[in-house]
Amino acid sequence: MFRAGVAPLNIETLRYANNRYIPAEERLCNFCESAEIEDEFHALLKCTAYEEIRHSMFQEISTILPSFIDLLDEQKLVAMLGNPKVTKIVARGCSNILIKRNDIMYFKIIEDVINVIDETVFSLS
Ligand SMILES: [Zn+2]
């Protein structure tokens, strides 16, 4: 899903919003403070929201590719998406990232709803 560039990340899902084309540089990550474009590279290697998932995924990859941890981020991405020996580990990591992303998103929506209810109740009292 990540390799094909069709993962539900903002780089893909925010292509069009409110009938307007959104340039790639505006399709930012809403899940950390980085203000970086939310693409596969960001989600797999950079986003602080997925640090724990990334840490255990990297540890597992290192048992198969011992020099993995010393690679540059760009080289790590190539190894993760191109080496069949780690495909299963990376697939599980991607799945965990997308599950966590959904959880955060729904939590944000619930928080917004609670805030609206709070403001409404406050304005009525
Ligand atoms: Zn992020």
CA 111 / ligand 1 centre spacing (Å):
19
- The CA distance from 90 to 86, in Å, is 6
pLDDT attached to residue 4: 55
CA 84 / ligand 1 centre spacing (Å):
26
Taking the whole predicted model, whether its pTM rises above 0.85 is answered as: no
CA 6 / ligand 1 centre spacing (Å):
17
76-114 per-position pLDDT tens digit: 999 999 999 999 999 999 999 999 999 999 998 898 899
- The CA distance from 108 to 102, in Å, is 10
Amino acid letter at 9?
L
pLDDT attached to residue 35: 94
- The CA distance from 41 to 111, in Å, is 28
CA 120 / ligand 1 centre spacing (Å):
32
Q: Is it the case that residue 55 has pLDDT exceeding 80?
A: yes
Query: Residue 12 — pLDDT band, cuts 50, 70, 90?
Result: confident
Domain extents in the chain: 10-124
Mean model confidence pLDDT for the chain: 92
